[in-house]
Amino acid sequence: MEQLEKARINSPKLLITKVLTKSSQYFGTYEIAPIPYDENNIQIYFNSLNFHDLGVLYRYRLKGVTNEWITTKTGYVNYVSLSANDYRFDVQSRFGLGGWSKSEIIQFSVIPPYWKRWWFICLATLFVFFIVYRILSIRFKISSVILG
């Protein structure tokens, strides 16, 4: 446990600097409003304070897409065409072969289109039942007039 804490002390300070969607920008905040389904491309920028000559490595994952860590030297990631879901983005950094820093986390969600929401499906179902009912009632009236 002591080695883990020492590794974290020697790891670089990590910040998520910017989050971009089609119509919104977030700077220095981890509060992201729900993202509409047609703006489901998201770019996340992160950076570490580096006072060493050692290169900084980052690893990240987007829970909701994958649980696997992806390691990179670049300080950004771009996700394209995210489906409607709740997501959790984790990113960590380290110098060279040192220990990974504490995770910086952003949680956000992509809202489904209105035609995939429960209230629209209920209204559409009620509308179909109403149309079927009206057609059947008109047919019964016509058949009772013809037979009657």
Same domain, 79 and 26: yes
Residue type, 16: I
Same domain, 108 and 139: no
pLDDT at 53: 57
Domain count, the chain: 2
Cα 47 to Cα 120: distance, rounded to the nearest angstrom? 42
Q: What is the pLDDT of residues 89-133, one digit of tens each?
A: 999 999 877 889 999 999 999 999 888 788 888 998 999 999 999
Same domain, 64 and 134: no
Q: SS3 of 10, please? A: helix
Q: What is the pLDDT of residues 114-125, one digit of tens each?
A: 887 888 889 989
pLDDT at 56: 87
